[in-house]
Structure 1
Amino acid sequence: MNKLLRTVSAAALYAVATFALPMPSEAAEWDIAKAAAPYKGTELNVVFLDRPGYRAIIKLLPEFEKATGIKVNYEIVPYENTREREVLNFSGQGDLSIALVDLVWIGEFAENGWILPVDKFANDASITDPNLNLKGFFPLLLDAFGTWGGTVYGLPFDNYSGLLFYNQCMLKDAGFDKPPATWKELLEVYAPKLTDKDKKQYAFALQSLRGETQSADSFMRSLWPHGGSLLDKDFKSNLLSKESQAGLQYRQKLMEYMPPGIVSWDHAEAVNALAQGQVAMITEWSAFYPTLTDPKTSKLGDCLAVAPEPAGEAGRLPALGGFSLAVAAQAPEEEQKAAWIFIQWATSEAIARAYVDAGGVSGRMKVYEDPQVKATYKFVEPMVASWQKGVPEYRPRFPAWPAVSEVIAEFGTKMMLGEVTVEGGSKEIGNRMEAILKQEGYYDGKKKLLQ
């Protein structure tokens, strides 16, 4: 882990541990209607994604709006366009009241002053839930999704862990009674037996569409388990290391057992391929579990099974992804306070079970302690296990990530298509990435490596 990211994590966890609200020994039930009364009629604007976690909160919105009189206007935007849409809105002092913050955007949003620290509002008892309980979030999630430079800006919402979803019926038919424990086993033992190109059936699908899906879900996912990384301890490219090259070469070999055209597949295509029995295994975010269990969208039924992502030479290092909700600095003060009330409600322990039942993935620890939740949702135990020691630096969270991501997406795609070699593409990414970081001031003291 490089020094920047290790320090960010340590500082964030310290902030979570020390940040506390003045609370009685037994917190009273929050009268959200009373808290929201001064803001009745306020309209909030937020960007949502077309994913299960957002559809889940939309189902619950009428309850919030009825109780508070606050209206939440949401626009459904494709993930690939979300950051640009928000940045343009913030730069132009637009109408967004709430920021949807991916873990790799938190540095950019915080350093540009587009989002406000939680403690600006949390110390105001008139608008703060006495049961806010920041320590009730998984520390990893509050650190990775909501914290920058030791300051908490947002509360975890729509939280992901990379999991292995698989068709246990297909595996059984191929002679396997359990999923692969390692990536090596997946490639060398499982993949050949689970692939029948004449029948258009494949062992695995790795969503790799050019854009953030390519850079994060495909390229970066190939580095960590093999011991590779994007950057070394000096913030220089580590892509030519033996471990990084092994991970990227592994991806090229695994493509033999993936559907043709995988470089144009986004999450929806990978999930649908598993749901329709076209592939036997995918590594996908926990948030897609509802899609795979819905009989309207999936043929899997009891054949669906879930396990942790396979381990590599460096151990089991699952992907980590997700978002936080933060108050937009550009919003008028009254709107900011109304936004804070909504953010607390949407991420609260009080609605966590209802949110999970509606198809969302809560960042609250308590809801997953319920035996009924564990028994009902197959993804819970492997997901919770991965959140105990996941890696927030799975994707670097520095403000330069969006520019770096575009370079990775371009040359990561060319690698998969065979337009450049793995080594040649790695050199190109490294050179361009270091040029971006140099321009941003990471090598001459203009920007501190330690946040």
Structure 2
Amino acid sequence: MKRLGALVTALTLCICIGGIGAAQGWSLAEAAKPYAGTSIKAIFLDRPGYKAAAKLLPEFEKITGIKVNTEVIPYENTREKIVLDMTARGGEYDVVLTDVVWIGEFASNGWLVPLEKFYNDPKLADPALNLKGFFPILLDSFGTWDKKIYGLPFDNYAGLLFYNKCMLQKAGFSKPPATWEELLKVYAPKLTNPKAGVYAFALQSRRGETQSADSFMRMLWPFGGSLIDPKTFEPNLLSPASLRGLQFRQDLMKYMPPGIVDYDHNEAVNALAQGKVAMITEWSAFYTTLADPKSSKLGNCLGVATEPAGPAGLKGALGGFSYGVNAFSPPERQAAAYLFIQWITSEAKAKDYVRAGGVSARMSVYKDPAIQKAFPFTVPMVKAWEQGNPIFRPRFPEWPEISEVIAQIGTEMMLGKVSVKDGAAQINAKVKEILTKAGYYDGKKPKLQ
């Protein structure tokens, strides 16, 4: 979680120096000439950011002669697909999609090529790459491991509060709740009508990464809690602050729809879009879905703000992905993959990407008043990113195993099969076991990334 600003500055200077000679004549078309006719493969998700990229792909293919084949995979199956390919050294996916919590696993196993190999090559490196133009928290969190950059931020999220302005106004509220406590005690009772099938809030909580990250972890940071104590590296769910956040989630459940533990992102977004709930905390990328009259009834009733603050302040969720290069792909496909990644994440394409429905990691694009007006979610999103919030899911390679533990016991908590305190104790014990086995307490592994 260390800030890597100095590293980014040094790398940027290196790129600028290396690109001086090429700055006059470098072009994507010229850089791609040796790879014209090459086909590469990238993983896409069924989300707005990837649909936006798909709209831009023909331009890249026309300029470069490189064919980008895409495979749309459900998020839940993505890591498994990548891991199977990597362990077999198959090189099927040249452009590797890496979640914020997979970067440690992928990089430490040698599955990704450090991008310095490409951006220090003046034949491949666009002199306008400008690593300092990315939001630092996004480049550091999604693309950097052990002081090396393995990916460029592509599909980027901040947790936001989406709400139905008309429902809130009807209940007597002129603005959204500023704090979680206000949401629970003031807003929720007035916005919930079980007989009419209308509820104040929906927290996507389906068992899996949605439960462990979007539901469970979301309630720790704002209340001052955490999965791991950053000083001792001991499991921290039995701390008063962590228990306060998890108990808050239980208290809020009576204002959520029945079966909330089966809600994934689509179910939560659709509940708001169809007027079944008044508020959700969801990723910024879902704004386009909620604003689309084909999928949403909200129209002018759609409101968006930062997530509510907790006793520890504004600690909204942070999520997203980077695109990196498969270490087992042939050299020509690696180079072609890098050219695509560099282009799709560039400052030059940022506005096109945002207008097509994506969320860019570039700071410059959100300074444009026209973008702010057309996409209101960008203002609270930028505010959340500029807060420099901690990564609310640990990035160490053992996260997938820990996530499964949280998903199971966190679901049992919500269903009342285990108390909050007992569930927290169970997760603590299992996390300690996983981290001990991995060598975090005997000096074999660094404790924080």
Q: Secondary structure at the match of 2:220?
A: helix
Please name the residue that 2:364 is paired with. 366
State the one-letter code of the partner of 1:92: A
Indicate conservation of the 8 Å contact 1:317/1:390, yes or no: no
Q: 2:213 aligns with which of 213, 216, 221?
A: 216
**Offset from partner CA, 1:406-451 (integer Å, 9 cap, x none):** 1000000000001111011111111011101011111112212255
Separation in 1, partners of 2:287, 2:400: 28
Q: 1:156 aligns with which of 153, 158, 167?
A: 153
Shift of 1:391: 2.3
Separation in 1, partners of 2:389, 2:321: 15
Separation in 1, partners of 2:23, 2:178: 44
Separation in 2, partners of 1:424, 1:246: 14
2:285 maps to 1:287: yes
State the one-letter code of the partner of 1:120: K
State the one-letter code of the partner of 1:16: V
Query: Where do 1:115-130 residues align within 5 Å?
Result: 115-130=112-127
Indicate conservation of the 8 Å contact 1:46/1:75, yes or no: yes
Structure 1, unpaired ranges of 5+? none
Q: 1:50 aligns with which of 46, 50, 72?
A: 46
Indicate conservation of the 8 Å contact 1:115/1:327, yes or no: yes
Indicate conservation of the 8 Å contact 1:318/1:390, yes or no: no
Query: Where do 1:13-28 residues align within 5 Å?
Result: 13-20=5-12, 21=15, 22=17, 23-24=19-20, 27-28=23-24
Change (3 A) 1:29 1:238: farther
Q: Secondary structure at the match of 1:393?
A: coil
Please name the residue that 1:85 is paired with. 81
2:245 maps to 1:247: yes
2:410 maps to 1:418: no
Please name the residue that 1:445 is paired with. 443
Indicate conservation of the 8 Å contact 2:202/2:268, yes or no: yes
Shift of 1:26: 11
Separation in 1, partners of 2:377, 2:23: 32
Change (3 A) 1:25 1:160: farther
TM-score normalised by length of structure 2: 0.97
**Offset from partner CA, 1:162-190 (integer Å, 9 cap, x none):** 00000000000000000000000000000
Indicate conservation of the 8 Å contact 2:26/2:123, yes or no: no
Indicate conservation of the 8 Å contact 2:164/2:302, yes or no: yes
Shift of 1:114: 0.3
State the one-letter code of the partner of 2:172: G
Separation in 1, partners of 2:374, 2:34: 40
Q: Secondary structure at the match of 2:98?
A: strand
2:99 maps to 1:107: no
Shift of 1:80: 1.0
Please name the residue that 1:384 is paired with. 382
Shift of 1:48: 1.0
Shift of 1:393: 2.1
Separation in 2, partners of 1:279, 1:134: 40
Q: Secondary structure at the match of 1:313?
A: coil
Q: Secondary structure at the match of 2:304?
A: strand
Separation in 2, partners of 1:206, 1:61: 34
Indicate conservation of the 8 Å contact 2:22/2:123, yes or no: no
**Offset from partner CA, 1:32-54 (integer Å, 9 cap, x none):** 11111100111111211100000
Change (3 A) 1:25 1:161: farther
Q: Secondary structure at the match of 2:324?
A: strand
Shift of 1:127: 1.1
Separation in 1, partners of 2:388, 2:364: 19
Separation in 1, partners of 2:21, 2:156: 30
Bigger shift: 214-223 or 87-96?
87-96
Separation in 2, partners of 1:430, 1:224: 17
State the one-letter code of the partner of 2:115: V
Indicate conservation of the 8 Å contact 1:33/1:68, yes or no: yes
Q: 1:234 aligns with which of 223, 232, 236?
A: 232
Indicate conservation of the 8 Å contact 1:204/1:257, yes or no: yes
Indicate conservation of the 8 Å contact 1:114/1:328, yes or no: yes
The number of aligned residues is: 443
Indicate conservation of the 8 Å contact 1:167/1:300, yes or no: yes
**Offset from partner CA, 1:131-185 (integer Å, 9 cap, x none):** 0000010111101111011111110001000000000000000000000000000
Separation in 2, partners of 1:178, 1:28: 52
Shift of 1:98: 1.3
State the one-letter code of the partner of 1:302: N
2:199 maps to 1:207: no
Please name the residue that 2:58 is paired with. 62
Change (3 A) 1:101 1:29: farther
Shift of 1:392: 4.1
Shift of 1:271: 0.4
Please name the residue that 1:263 is paired with. 261
Separation in 2, partners of 1:27, 1:142: 24
Runs of 4+ in 1 over 4 A off after TM superposition: 25-30
Please name the residue that 1:37 is paired with. 33
Separation in 1, partners of 2:387, 2:122: 34
Shift of 1:15: 1.3
Separation in 2, partners of 1:221, 1:27: 44
Bigger shift: 182-191 or 122-131?
122-131
Separation in 2, partners of 1:250, 1:61: 44
Change (3 A) 1:26 1:302: farther
State the one-letter code of the partner of 1:145: F
Q: Percent identity among equivalent residues?
A: 63
Query: Where do 1:171-190 residues align within 5 Å?
Result: 171-190=168-187
Change (3 A) 1:13 1:277: same
TM-score normalised by length of structure 1: 0.96
Separation in 2, partners of 1:386, 1:85: 32
State the one-letter code of the partner of 1:287: A
State the one-letter code of the partner of 1:129: D
Please name the residue that 1:133 is paired with. 130
Note the aligned Cα RMSD (angstroms): 1.3
State the one-letter code of the partner of 2:55: K
Structure 2, unpaired ranges of 5+? none
Separation in 2, partners of 1:319, 1:341: 31
**Offset from partner CA, 1:72-112 (integer Å, 9 cap, x none):** 11111111111111011111112111110111111110000
